Amino acid sequence: MADRYTQLVNTPIGRIITRQLGLPAPVPLERYSPGQAVLEGRVLLGGAPGGRLARALAQVLTDAHAEVVEPPAAGGERHRALVFDATGITDPQALGELHAFFHPSIRTLQACGRVVVLGTPPAQARTPSEAVAQRALEGFTRSVAKELRRGGTAQLLYVAPGGEGQLASTLRFLLSPRSAYVSGQVVLLGPASEPPVLDWDRPLDGRVALVTGASRGIGAAIAATLARDGAHVVGLDVPSLTDDLEALTSRLRGSALALDITAEDAPERIAAHLHSEHDGVDVVVHNAGITRDRTLGRMDGALWSSVIDVNLLAVQRITDALIAGASYTVLRPGGRVLCVSSISAIAGNAGQSNYATSKAGVIGIVDAYAPLLGARLATINAVAPGFIESQMTAGMPFALRQAARRMNSLSQGGLPIDVAETIAWLASPASGGLNGNVVRVCGQNLLGA
């Protein structure tokens, strides 16, 4: 639901006042409801000459029943999405292809429209000139994301050579209302084994997902979304919240595991539970987290270590237990590990040296474990939320909370469902080409932008 300011500025009188005072004018974001098409409206699909993704893109869009049109756009035609294959840009001089496609089309984008630019990872370019040109796409896409108004988003998807067959799950996410609060992101898609044929409405059918910190807030939304997608959810939370946890998991037809993840024996108990009750786990979401904010000079050792223990050490210990059990491996082949970091980890935040340290450490876990898990056909990725409306952010001082809500390209806070949809995309069996990514769910927050 939109916050009160967003509701107010979308009334006729509110629109006049915000325009005259130059105030932020957020629009209510369109969000996914089950059964909805990937995108409703036309997709303008273009590309620089020599690009290698045209066929794969057309296939994914056709399979998603999108109405695809080619440039030049007919006069007065509006578009739901603008998709541009920039892999043919192998020299900085050819960057004008971006201008040639987007200059005439950018103003045809509908409210809550989508821009997706596809390129080649600079590290895998064949020449220095190609690497330079492909790196330049980042600045372009992030700037377009900041220029879009009315709930529009823009992303850059780098597709490594060999990753062409992995486009479907990512394109479906980025083009759909599921990615409502994700903007200005750079996602890396690599080669992987051929994605399974899926029921896109229930991609996790028959799979088991562990969600820590599941009893409320973002964790509850993640649990509900993974259950919606077909998973049996094992919700985990501290024993003091057992009633809330059990109420949630019984509603989702899942099961509850009440324990403190910092307990000495927690990793072994979690691994043993998943092994004996479910014969393993397919999706692990490290969502449980705490804040204990103070500036460093006022932060005692207990405040420091409680945050590091929950947000970082427990995540690594549990991951280790699930991938390297003494006599069995609990994370099944094709498993998905998802970590919840924070934009504080990327930009730093005054009063959060403990929290930002722990959440940057989580990104370190993703970096360090991605090759290990990739070798087992599993993946590990992180989401880094910005300001999300939850009990955690409801505790912020009023003025700071209002400022934090507006300091992003969409001028509003995100909802727990926005983080949950991003997790669900990365958790999909069709997302094997995504490994080692950190995707911010922050409306392109100005911090760490």
Ligand X SMILES: NC(=O)c1ccc[n+]([C@@H]2O[C@H](COP(=O)([O-])OP(=O)(O)OC[C@H]3O[C@@H](n4cnc5c(N)ncnc54)[C@H](O)[C@@H]3O)[C@@H](O)[C@H]2O)c1
Q: Which residues are catalytic?
A: 355
**Closer residue to ligand X (CB): 131 or 404:** 404
Is position 23 an interface residue for ligand X (rule: CB under 6 A)? no
Q: Who contacts 211 (Cβ-Cβ below 8 Å, separation ≥6)? A: 219, 222, 223, 226, 233, 234, 235, 236, 285, 287
- ∠ Cα 153 48 46 (to 5°): 50
Helix (H) or strand (E) holding 129: helix 128-147
Does the protein bind ligand X through residue 379 (CB under 6 A)?
Answer: no
Rule CB under 6 A: say whether 238 interacts with ligand X.
yes
Q: Which of 170, 319, 381, 390 binds ligand X (CB under 6 A)?
A: 390
Nearest-approach distance from CB 340 to ligand X, in angstroms = 4
Binding mask 38-77 for ligand X (x = CB under 6 A): ----------------------------------------
- Closer to ligand X at the Cβ: 219 or 433? 219
The residue whose two tokens read 């509110």 is: 14
Angle between helices 54-63 and 167-175 (to 10 degrees): 60
Handedness of CA 272, 273, 275, 281 (dihedral sign): negative
3-state secondary structure 81-97: EEEEECCCCCCHHHHHH
CB of 212 to ligand X, least distance (A): 6
**Residue 262 sits in the site that holds ligand X (CB under 6 A):** yes
Distance between CA atoms of 105 and 120, rounded to whole angstroms? 23
Task: State which H helix or E strand residue 158 sits in.
Answer: strand 153-159
241 binds ligand X, rule: CB under 6 A: yes
Among 46, 152, 385, 432, binds ligand X (CB under 6 A): 385
235 sits near ligand X (criterion: CB under 6 A): no
Q: Which residues contact 76 (CB under 8 A, 6 or more apart)?
A: none
Which token pair is 340?
Answer: 């919840």
Q: Which is nearer to ligand X, 260 or 320 (CB)?
A: 260
Rule CB under 6 A: say whether 340 interacts with ligand X: yes
Assess 215 for contact with ligand X (CB under 6 A): yes
391 lies in the site for ligand X, by CB under 6 A? yes
Name which of 172 and 359 has its Cβ closer to ligand X: 359
| Alpha-helix residue ranges (DSSP H) falling in 289-438 | 301-308, 314-323, 343-347, 353-374, 391-394, 398-406, 416-427
Among 132, 290, 347, 447, indicate the residue that binds ligand X (CB under 6 A).
290
Q: Is 376 helix (H, G, I), strand (E, B) or coil?
A: coil
Residue 222 found at the interface with ligand X (CB under 6 A):
no
Task: Mark the segment that binds ligand X (CB under 6 A) among 7-15, 135-143, 286-294, 321-329.
Answer: 286-294
Let me know: does 408 contact 387? Beta carbons within 8 Å: yes
Query: In the complex with ligand X, which residue's Cβ is closer, 195 or 448?
Result: 448
Nearer of residues 82 and 388 to ligand X, judged by Cβ: 388
Cα–Cα distance, 109 to 144 (Å, whole number): 12
Report the nearest approach of ligand X to the CB of residue 404 (Å). 8
- State which of residues 47, 119, 177, 219 lies at the interface with ligand X (CB under 6 A): 219
Compute how many residues bind ligand X; rule: CB under 6 A: 27
Q: Choose which of 88, 213, 280, 443 interacts with ligand X (CB under 6 A).
A: 213
Between 121 and 213, CB nearer to ligand X: 213
User: Quick check: 203 binds ligand X (CB under 6 A)?
Assistant: no
Q: Does 362 participate in binding ligand X (rule CB under 6 A)? A: no
Least distance between ligand X and beta carbon 251 (Å): 16
Stretch that binds ligand X, among 84-92, 198-206, 274-282, 284-292 (CB under 6 A): 284-292
Query: Which residue, 61 or 315, is less far from ligand X as judged by CB?
Result: 315
Backbone angles phi, psi at 67, to 5 degrees: -90, 105
- Given 40, 138, 260, 268, the residue binding ligand X (CB under 6 A): 260
Tell me the three-class secondary structure of 301-332, residue by residue: HHHHHHHHHHHHHHHHHHHHHHHCCCCCCCEE
* d(C-alpha 136, C-alpha 198), whole Å: 35
Coil, helix or strand at residue 222: helix
Half-sphere exposure of 127 (CA within 13 A, CB side): 8
Output the smallest distance, CB 395 to ligand X, in A. Answer: 9
Task: Report if residue 352 touches ligand X, rule: CB under 6 A.
Answer: no
Residues 293-322 that bind ligand X (CB under 6 A): 310
388 contacts ligand X (rule: CB under 6 A): yes
Q: How far is CA 211 from the centre of its chain?
A: 16
Work out whether 217 is an interface residue with ligand X (CB under 6 A). Answer: yes
Tokens at 342, concatenated: 């924070």
**Which positions touch ligand X (CB under 6 A)?**
212-213, 215-219, 237-238, 241, 260-262, 287-290, 310, 340, 342, 385, 387-388, 390-393
